[in-house]
Amino acid sequence: MKSAALLAALASAVAAASIARSDASCLTVSGDAAWPAKSEWQKAMPEIETQKPKESWTQPPYRLDATTVAEVIAAINFTRQHNIRLSILNSGHDFVGRNDAPTGLTLSVSGLKGARLLSSFTPAKDGVPSVDSKTALNTLPTQKGQAYLTFGAGYNTRELNSLLAPSNLLTLGAAHGSVSVAGGWGQTAGHAPLSAKYGLGVDQVVEYKVVTADGVLKVANEATNPDLFWALRGGGGGTFGVVVEATIKAHPSQKVAMTQIWINTTDYNDQSSIYPFAAKFMSEFTAWQDKGMGAYYWLYPNAMSIFAFYSNDDASKDWMNEQFKPTMTKISKMKGINSKTMVFVPLEFPNFWAFFKQVWGDMPGKGGEGMPGGMTARMTASPAPPTLSRRHGPGDGAATAARGIVYLDSWLLGKKELQSDKWASVLKAAMPNLPGGNLGGQFIGGGETIKLGNNDPTSVLPAWRQTYLHLILYAYGKPSSLPLRQFAPDMGAYANEAYPRTHQNWQTTYWGKHYPKLAEVKKKYDPTSLFWVTPGIGAEAWTAQPDGRLCRSERSSTNATAAFAPLNDNKNDADPHVIDEIAGSAFPIKYSG
Ligand SMILES: Cc1cc2nc3c(=O)[nH]c(=O)nc-3n(C[C@H](O)[C@H](O)[C@H](O)COP(=O)(O)OP(=O)(O)OC[C@H]3O[C@@H](n4cnc5c(N)ncnc54)[C@H](O)[C@@H]3O)c2cc1C
């Protein structure tokens, strides 16, 4: 932030801030008399590019790949002054399609780079020294304690952990290397493989730098703009401003032990016996979560595959065997389950990066080639159709693209639910009765995610602080989490991995008791609703018209009749087979013994 060019841009931003967004009842779209000429766009944003719809794939007519904060400020000022819709794009992974719109400007922030390690952090009015794309990462001598990482908002999990590896540090991020850390992931909740040990993504952030709707760069930490800082840790991406930089915790990397388990029913056609087994496994697993263990599983009507991991100085294959195998062997003798076909493969790694590389790959698009089956096997068994790779962003270091809407559904569940007598039958009812249907269990709660919720300093959906399991329903179709919602009505859903057409009572489903206060913070920092995503805080402000034009809505955030969020007019649906990349299609093992 020290360069003369940036200071000049900031000064012009302050001047521009006095020009308010027009109070017009509708936004301007291409073809309107008020739509600026191309030369005006280019004058304000010299690097801007035009975009055309691709087949049935709609996109805004202009796109800016920002690499500096000054460009972000210019994009915000231009769209505000000209009453034009603005979409923020980072990794493009949003399942709900909130990174894209049929009109206006796409502001891509994945080019905001630069990182610096700090050995300590104290919240201050001016924030930490800023980074830009020329800031080369320093290394810290290997240390036992926690450090902090300041980075441009365009980095993803894989890039950050690769940068941290020489200092033997790690940071939390999605279990998919290409998801951005300071975008929708870190601003909504952010669950990670090691969440049970270190908390959610929102628990990692100690400072954000954000350009708000007035075009002004603001520091948000516990000392400065604390209300904005609170809102940015749970209120969701694309809502309060454009985050350009984050400072987050970096934890010392320790050994990792993992195990993969596959199990199926004795009779391949038996589509009942797996549920009592799975329910028992999940009920037992909560105790391991409180020790810091995490797991992902995929449950099919006749089989289950589990992938569990634990990071600590004592983590080893032997530790995993001792902890896990006796219980698994015991419960795999349950009725209808074939313990002879249980495959149990423990592995160990010297540090988190070695584990991450093997499981999720160290290069864009690469799975964990060394994995004995599991994710890689499923992906190989069901290669993504060509349309998918075309729509998926090209990966690290490159400009990203919106990947399209995915019709999954999900619900958060606590210990009480996982230990309920009804759990096995609820699981069975929840299994999507659709082609490719399976339940993707994410054991990313418990442990620190619960403890850090005491006097919660974040605005994350309070149900996260009781969550042990985030259960996702996958299918080639539109699965429904209704049986889970009816079973656990007081919990809620993760807005990033939810049904795209939103749930009834969406405000409490995604934000719980925090919604009214989040709506106030939204009004304070974005009074004319420049930033609009749905579902999102303050989504009631606009209604999308068929031509992509947003018009002021009569609804208000306190209107109890606003049971459903305004419909998103992004109609770019991903190929339904995209779930093969995230979950699995048919279970590969058929027992013939
Ligand atoms: C394959 C896959 C794996 C996933 N794994 C996980 C997981 O392990 N854990 C988990 O919690 N989630 C996971 N997710 C869901 C993920 O949290 C969401 O897709 C999330 O919205 C991605 O945020 P993004 O910024 O990377 O993506 P984008 O789609 O680019 O952005 C998402 C939203 O955030 C806004 N946004 C992005 N950057 C900024 C910014 N700098 N400032 C303000 N707003 C911004 C966008 O406008 C949009 O509304 C996964 C998704 C996929 C597709």
Which residue type does 249 have? K
pLDDT at 343: 78
Distances (CA, A) of 553 to 25, 26, 101, 501, 541: 9, 10, 18, 18, 5
pLDDT at 578: 67
Domain ranges of the chain: 115-252
Closest ligand 1 atom number to CA of residue 242 = 42
Contact indicator for 529, 540 with CB cutoff of 8 Å = no
> Is the sign of the CA dihedral 290, 294, 299, 302 positive or negative?
negative
Compute the distance from residue 492 Cα to the ligand 1 centre, in Å. 19
pLDDT tens digits, 35-54: 999 999 999 999 999 998 88
pLDDT at 262: 82
Q: Which residues of the chain have pLDDT under 70?
A: 1-24, 142-144, 341, 361-399, 555-562, 578-593
User: Of the residues 63, 79, 185, which should be mutated to test ligand 1's pocket, given the most ligand atoms within 8 Å of the CB?
Assistant: 185
Closest ligand 1 atom number to CA of residue 87 = 47
As for ligand 1, residues whose beta carbon falls within 6 Å of it are 88-95, 98-99, 109, 153, 174-176, 179-180, 182-185, 190-191, 237-238, 242-243, 496-497, 533, 582
Contact indicator for 368, 360 with CB cutoff of 8 Å = yes
- Residue matched to tokens 């995915």: 406
pLDDT at 23: 56
pLDDT at 15: 42
User: Using CA atoms, how far apart are residues 38 and 60, in angstroms rounded to an integer?
Assistant: 14
Compute the distance from residue 337 Cα to the ligand 1 centre, in Å. 38
Which residue type does 476 have? Y
**Element housing 450 (H / E):** helix 448-451
Instruction: Specify the DSSP class assigned to residue 80.
Output: H
Burial per residue of 375-401, b for 16 or more beta-carbon CB atoms within 10 angstroms, e otherwise: bbbbbeebebeeebeebbbebbeeebb
Compute the distance from residue 494 Cα to the ligand 1 centre, in Å. 12
Which residue type does 35 have? W
Compute the distance from residue 514 Cα to the ligand 1 centre, in Å. 21
- Residue matched to tokens 């199926």: 264
Q: Tokens representing 344?
A: 């149990």
Q: Which CATH number fits domain 115-252: 1.10.150.20, 3.30.465.10, 3.90.650.10, 3.40.440.10?
A: 3.30.465.10
Q: Which residues pair with 337 in a beta bridge?
A: 265
pLDDT at 291: 93
Closest ligand 1 atom number to CA of residue 90 = 30
Contact indicator for 1, 69 with CB cutoff of 8 Å = yes
| pTM assigned to the model | 0.91
Compute the distance from residue 358 Cα to the ligand 1 centre, in Å. 23
User: Using CA atoms, how far apart are residues 213 and 19, in angstroms rounded to an integer?
Assistant: 11
Angle between helices 274-289 and 423-430 in degrees, nearest 10: 110
Closest ligand 1 atom number to CA of residue 210 = 42
Compute the distance from residue 423 Cα to the ligand 1 centre, in Å. 30
User: Using CA atoms, how far apart are residues 507 and 495, in angstroms rounded to an integer?
Assistant: 10
User: Using CA atoms, how far apart are residues 205 and 190, in angstroms rounded to an integer?
Assistant: 11
pLDDT at 359: 84
Atom 6 in ligand 1: residue holding the nearest Cα: 174
pLDDT at 279: 97
Closest ligand 1 atom number to CA of residue 179 = 26
User: Of the residues 68, 85, 99, 469, which should be mutated to test ligand 1's pocket, given the most ligand atoms within 8 Å of the CB?
Assistant: 99
